[in-house]
Structure 1
Amino acid sequence: MKLVYINPETNLDLLAGSLWDGRGEDCRQQVVISIRQGRIAAVRPQETAVTEKNARQINLAGLTVLPGLIDAHVHLALDGIDFQASLARWQDPPAREAALARALRASLEHGLVAIRDGGDREGLNLQAREWVRTGKYPGPRVVATGMAVTKKGKYGSFLGPGTTDPASIRELIAGLVNRNVDQVKVVVSGLVTFRRYGEVGSLEFDAAELATAVKAAHAAGRPVMVHVNSAAGVDLALAAGVDSIEHGYFLTTAQLETMAARGTYWVPTVAAIANRLLTTKRDDYPEGERDIIRRTQESQQQMIARAYQLGVKLVVGTDAGAPGVYHGESYLDELLYWHRAGVPAVAILRAATVTAAAALGLGGELGQVKPGYRPCLIAVRGNPLEDLKVLAQPEMVFIDF
């Protein structure tokens, strides 16, 4: 993979053999993407393009250019390999910095130009955001939540300090806003368990508490993403007016219809469950639990297909850092789970680009190849509309800073 940096003075013409622009049903052939002063200035057929003396050219014949990919749910402070070792590194500044830098680099090398971090108790994702912004380490744009809003004594102690009442919820959110988080993450339910099919950890907040969190975040201009599983949890989240449902295992068709009507984003994170059976630790699960994992995965895939049919705003997110979900590397896994569920490749790519950009608050900047947008692009060998696997190893990644 070759990494090309774009700065505000860059004047560059990309001679693309093929282009998928983030919106179309098909690829356009023989296109010039003109970048002027660090922004996309024009997208034209090659036969109509005029060569400018001060513009460098890169010949991408035989390659397909498309918007850089976006992962809407990651945890940079976890590595997907060893949860306890990741937590231990948080208290070792050099080790945790090196691990974060590796996660950022791996994400970029796999074609991710933006990621949204779902939080960690130390707020390390805020550091990572600044490292990328200042150029200390290469990486995708980081949309940061800092720490998650959790209930003390419930699931998620590694994500946030825990709250006890509406006053502490408002206090935590005010502190996060003061640290300039991009979005607010709230943990509404526990995890999916593998003891019994459909079993989920208990709800953390009641309706009034969750409404307090959403109101405080929205008043500060911050969208709210919620970790939530179970139909009861999704009902609670939708009633509170959250902006995106993260995970959403065991939600219902009626809830999908509500989400479609309201424009609520859904980030289904199939890999967070399914990839547990792809690691060397798969044998740690008894056969009965492995069966529940497979059934849970299949149920989620069925609901993704239904969500697509209903017009829900689907967004690709992997939960990278969860067991068996690796930064950058596991992104293709998530795309393929959707495709095997019956979602067309072009719809998956939109969920990975233009819709994901909107969910991250980056609409108008990323997710499309059109004038005025940032030139955060990837070039792959082959047509991703025909074979998503060509995204596994981008030939080139263009990133601005």
Structure 2
Amino acid sequence: MCEHDHTSGPVPQSQLQRRHVLAGAAALAGLGLASMIPAPVHAAKTNGDSEPAARRGNSTHPAPVIIEGGTLIDPTTGQVTEDAVVVLAEGKVQAVGDRASTRRAVAEYRNSATTIEAAGKFILPGFVDAHVHAQTFEDASLILSHGATTVRSGSTSFYQDIALAQIPKYAAGLSPRMHAAGLFVSPDQSDSILADPDLAPLASSRHQLTTVSELAHLTKVNISRGATVIKTRANPRAGLADQDPLELVYDRDQLAAIVHAAKGAGVLCHSYSAKAIAGAVAAGVQSIEHGVFVDEKTLASMAGKGTYFTPTLFGISGMAQSSDPVLAERGREYAPILAKAVGAADELGVTVIAGTDSFGTDVTAIGDEANSLAKAGLSQLKALQSITSAPARMLGVHKQGVGRLVHRGVADLVLLGSNPLERSTALSDVQLVVAQGAIVRNDAA
């Protein structure tokens, strides 16, 4: 389960080019993608365009896909369109709606498209998992197979998520759309310091990174290397028996320094205790992760500030089955408290979003988390929104069509075998996944 402007701290140097960091992260992730890392500007031909060709990525797209005859659900409203058609081509939604409104696009792409008959099934946008730890192609593939075509990283140890975030530009369907956090802004950095020469000034503090200048420096290096979100913590991990998940790690001032240094990138904060959560919310974090002992006063503050809540309920509940007696007891104690917190958050107007906290190849289906949220009190529609429109809005990508199938939106789609507006368990009944226009799973035939 996982402020102030302190300019006296060391400043990242420009000599280390971002492409070199990405290449190293790709190697550590086992990607072998040296050819996919953008070339230096001076070495690229522009072909008459202002942007170098090497930076634009591969211009080829997967073959068109037509899904027809299913029931289309708009997660933002719950509106249903029977006998619907979706046409995906050139990395975009070319048409979506009833047969009459999509007829022209179908005629244009029919001869070159893969056509999938969806009668009796339910058409939705690709899902969003707001808390994962993906570091390899295998991790990414497993996450995609459960329908999560967009994810928010909960950090990696050597920038692997930043490398994975580049993949869709060059090879559709190999990685979700990744909102990368880079390195975890946490006290014990250990060998993660070696991920980047610009972190060398922090070497002596690598096991106890606590000063606001150090925290700001690590945050700024993450941003300079391509992180689009920042992950930090206010408490230790509940999933490690030798750690006390209620101990305060970073206080309001320390967290505020991280938020300030993030320069608008959303900060997700791992926290369990009431005091830690209150401090994180006051510091201005974008979302609270886990948040077991959040109190009503802080929930009210979250609602007023627009702070999101990612409870990772399925994972925390699963600790009850641990063979470790300490973790099993935590799972039994924490799960019902957290479930009540989810219900209370929803009643007070806090937006609850789904995150699995999947780590490596230990991947939880995002639909299982959404189903857990429904059991805790979210309506069927809000459970659906927790993995579509709500996290898309949090990440600022809703206007690109993430979380909702719209004309010219991203070509990400999930086909379910049953109706998620009738029962939330349907969100795990994934039969087809299309990511960036590429079919990555097809059990619908």
Q: TM-score range by the shorter chain?
A: 0.7 to 0.9
Q: CA offset at residue 134 of structure 1?
A: 2.7
Larger radius of gyration: 2
Q: Percent identity?
A: 26
Q: What is the correspondence of 1:367-382 to structure 2 with a 5 Å cutoff?
A: 367-382=403-418
Question: SS at 1:33's partner residue?
Answer: strand
1:247 to 261, 285, 290: 290
Q: How many residues align?
A: 359
Contact 1:357 1:367 in 2 (8 A): yes
1:50 maps to 2:95? no
| Cα distance change, pair 133–203 in 1 and its aligned pair in 2 (3 A) | farther
1:39–1:134: structure 2 CA closer, same or farther, 3 Å change rule? Answer: closer
What do the CA deviations read for 1:302-329 (whole angstroms, capped 9, x no partner)? Answer: 110111112211110011129xx932x4
**Equivalent position amino acid for 1:188 in 2:** A
State the secondary structure of the residue aligned to 1:276.
helix
| SS of residue paired to 2:103 | coil
- Of 217, 220, 223, 1:171 maps to 217
CA pair 7-32 structure 1, distance change in 2 beyond 3 A: farther
Q: Do the aligned partners of residues 344 and 158 (structure 1) sit closer, same or farther apart at CA in structure 2, a change above 3 Å counting? A: farther
Alignment correspondent of 1:86: none
Structural mapping, 1:176-255, within 5 Å: 176-192=222-238, 200-218=245-263, 221-255=264-298
* 2:428 pairs with 1:392: yes
Structure 1 distance, partners of 2:257, 2:283, is 9
Structure 1 distance, partners of 2:303, 2:422, is 27
The whole-number CA distance in structure 1 between the counterparts of 2:172 and 2:76 is: 33
Instruction: Evaluate the alpha carbon distance shift between residue 230 and residue 356 of structure 1 in structure 2; reply closer, same or farther with a 3 A threshold.
Output: same
Instruction: Give, in whole Å, the separation in 2 of the partners of 1:304 and 1:247.
Output: 10
When normalised by structure 1's length, the TM-score is 0.81
Amino acid at match of 2:279: L
Alpha-carbon distance, 1:136 to partner: 8.3
Label 1:165 to 1:41 Cα distance change in 2 as closer, same or farther (>3 A).
same
Amino acid at match of 1:315: I
Deviation at 1:284, TM superposition (A): 2.9
Q: 1:267 aligns with which of 285, 305, 310?
A: 310
Contact 2:368 2:425 in 1 (8 A): no
Closer, same or farther in 2 for the Cα pair 1:168/1:134, shift >3 Å?
same
Residue type at the aligned position of 2:253: A
Distance 1:228 1:200 in 2: 8
Select which of 313, 316, 324 maps to 1:284: 324
Paired amino acid for 1:236: G
1:82 maps to what in 2? none
State how far apart, in whole Å, the 1-side matches of 2:120 and 2:172 are: 33
Q: Secondary structure at the match of 2:336?
A: helix
Kept after mapping to 2: 8 A contact 1:16/1:64: no
TM-score by length of 2: 0.74
Contact preservation (8 Å) 2:319, 2:332: no
CA separation in 1, counterparts of 2:190 and 2:246?
Answer: 14
The higher-RCO structure (CA 8 Å, 6+ apart) is 1
Match of 1:122 among 144, 158, 169: 158
Offset of 1:47 from its aligned partner? 4.2
Deviates more, 1:375-384 or 1:335-344: 335-344
- Write the deviation string for residues 265-322 of structure 1: whole angstroms up to 9, x where unpaired: 11011123211234xxx33326xx6344223101101110111112211110011129
Residue 119 of structure 2: SS of its match in structure 1? strand
SS in structure 1 of the partner of residue 149 of structure 2: strand
1:14 corresponds in structure 2 to: 67
TM superposition shift of 1:158: 8.3
Do structure 1's residue 102 and structure 2's residue 138 form an aligned pair?
A: yes
CA contact (8 A) 2:288 2:309 kept: yes
Within 1, Cα distance between the matches of 2:172 and 2:418? 33
2:384 matched residue in structure 1: 349
CA contact (8 A) 1:150 1:159 kept: no
Q: Alignment partner of 1:372: what SS? A: coil
The corresponding residue for 1:73 is: 131
- 1:233-288 deviation digits (Å, cap 9, x = unpaired): 1111111111111111100111111111111111011123211234xxx33326xx
Conserved 8 A contact 2:173-2:436 = no
**Contact kept in structure 2, 1:150 and 1:157, CA below 8 Å:** no
2:353, 2:191 → 1: CA distance? Answer: 25
Change (3 A) 1:340 1:62: same
Structure 1 residues not aligned, in runs of 5+:
1-5, 78-99
Cα offset, 1:25, TM superposition: 2.7
1:20 Cα deviation after fit: 0.8
CA distance in structure 2 between the aligned counterparts of 1:207 and 1:106, rounded to whole angstroms: 36
Q: CA RMSD in A?
A: 2.8
Q: Which residue of 1 aligns with 2:82?
A: 29
Cα deviation for residue 36 of structure 1 reads: 5.4
Contact 1:265/1:312, CA 8 A, preserved across alignment:
yes
| The 10-residue stretch of structure 1 (293-302 or 7-16) with the greater mean CA deviation from structure 2 | 7-16
Q: Give, in whole Å, the separation in 2 of the partners of 1:147 and 1:194.
A: 19
The match for 1:138 is: 174
Q: What is the DSSP-based 3-state SS (H/G/I as helix, E as strand, rest coil) of the residue aligned with 2:430? A: coil
Preserved contact between residue 67 and residue 353 of structure 1 (Cα < 8 Å)? yes
The one-letter code matched in structure 2 to 1:125 is D
Report 1:297-316 matches (<5 A): 297-316=335-354
What is the CA–CA distance in structure 1 between the aligned matches of 2:153 and 2:275, rounded to whole Å?
25
Distance 1:253 1:67 in 2: 33
Amino acid at match of 1:60: A
Query: CA 1:164/1:340 → structure 2, altered by over 3 Å: closer, same or farther?
Result: closer
SS of residue in 1 equivalent to 2:393: helix
